[in-house]
Amino acid sequence: MHKAIATVSVSGALEEKLTAIAAAKFDGIEVFDSDLVASPLRPVEVARRCADLGLSIDLFQPLRDVEGVDPQQFPQTLRRVGRKLDVMEQLGATTLLACSNATPSAVGDADLSAEQLGAVGDLAQEHGFTVAFEALAWGTHINRVSHAWDLVRRVDHPSVALAVDTFHLLARGDDATALHGIPGDRIAFLQVADAPVLAMDVLQWSRHHRVFPGQGSFDLAPVVAAVVEAGYRGPLSLEIFSDVVREADPHVTALDAMRSLLHLEEELRHRWDGAAAGPDKPQRPRIELFDPPPAPSEVEPAFVEVATHGPDLDRLLAAMGFHVAGRHRTKPVTWWRNGGANVLLNGAGDLEDRWATAASRPSITGIGLAVDDVPAFAARRSALLWPGLPLRHGPGEAVIAGVDSPTGIHTFVTGRPGQADDWQRDFVAVADPTADGEEEPGAGWVGIDHVGYAVPFRLSEAEISFHRTLFGMLPGAVSEFTDPRGRVRSRVMRPPTGALRIVLNVTEGLATRAGGPAGINQVAFACPDVLRAARAMRAAGVGLLEVPDNYYDDLAARFDLPAARIAELRAEGVMYDRDERGEFLHVYTRRIAGAFYVEVLQRLGGYDGYGAANTPVRLAAQAAQVRDARPA
Q: In angstroms, what is the C-alpha Rg of the chain?
A: 29
Build a one-symbol-per-residue string for 57-76: x at contacts with a copy of itself by CB under 8 A, - elsewhere.
-------------------x
d(CA 384, CA 477): 26
Binding of a copy of itself by 485 (CB under 8 A): yes
Q: For 372-466, list the strands marked E by DSSP.
A: 401-404, 410-414, 427-429, 447-456
- By beta-carbon proximity to a copy of itself, the closer residue of 426 and 577 is 577
d(CA 156, CA 312): 78
- By beta-carbon proximity to a copy of itself, the closer residue of 154 and 251 is 251
CB 614, min distance to a copy of itself, A: 10
- By beta-carbon proximity to a copy of itself, the closer residue of 64 and 416 is 64
Q: How far is CA 319 from CA 132, 322, 563, 600, 613, in A?
A: 68, 7, 30, 13, 29
Considering only 486, 519, 543, 573, the residue that binds a copy of itself (CB under 8 A) is 486
Binding of a copy of itself by 139 (CB under 8 A): no
Length of the chain: 632
Q: Tell me if residue 190 falls in helix, strand or coil.
A: strand
- By beta-carbon proximity to a copy of itself, the closer residue of 334 and 512 is 512
Binding of a copy of itself by 209 (CB under 8 A): no
Tell me the window of 110-118, 274-282, 332-340, 548-556 that interacts with a copy of itself (CB under 8 A).
548-556
Binding of a copy of itself by 580 (CB under 8 A): no
Give residue 477's identity as a one-letter amino acid code: A
Considering only 554, 565, 604, 605, the residue that binds a copy of itself (CB under 8 A) is 554
Q: Are 158 and 135 in contact (CB under 8 A)?
A: no
d(CA 239, CA 236): 10
Q: Are 468 and 299 in contact (CB under 8 A)?
A: no
CB 583, min distance to a copy of itself, A: 17
What is the helix (H) or strand (E) element at residue 343, kind and residue range? strand 341-346
Binding of a copy of itself by 273 (CB under 8 A): no
CB 103, min distance to a copy of itself, A: 15
Interface residues for a copy of itself in 503-532 (CB under 8 A)? 508-512
Q: Tell me if residue 170 falls in helix, strand or coil.
A: helix
3-state secondary structure 231-268: CCCCCEEECCCECCHHHCCHHHHHHHHHHHHHHHHHHH
Q: Are 226 and 219 in contact (CB under 8 A)?
A: no
Interface residues for a copy of itself in 592-631 (CB under 8 A)? 616-617, 619-621, 623-624
d(CA 381, CA 403): 8
d(CA 93, CA 103): 27
- By beta-carbon proximity to a copy of itself, the closer residue of 389 and 556 is 556
Binding of a copy of itself by 12 (CB under 8 A): yes
Binding of a copy of itself by 558 (CB under 8 A): yes
Binding of a copy of itself by 458 (CB under 8 A): yes
Binding of a copy of itself by 352 (CB under 8 A): no
Binding of a copy of itself by 567 (CB under 8 A): no
Residue 509's region, left for phi above 0, alpha for psi from -120 to 50, else beta, is: beta
- By beta-carbon proximity to a copy of itself, the closer residue of 460 and 512 is 512
- By beta-carbon proximity to a copy of itself, the closer residue of 427 and 551 is 551
d(CA 118, CA 70): 15
Binding of a copy of itself by 579 (CB under 8 A): no
Residues at the contact surface with a copy of itself, assessed by CB under 8 A: 11-13, 16, 33-34, 36-43, 76, 79-80, 83-84, 87, 198-201, 204, 208, 243, 246-247, 458, 482, 484-487, 508-512, 546, 548-551, 553-554, 556-558, 560, 616-617, 619-621, 623-624
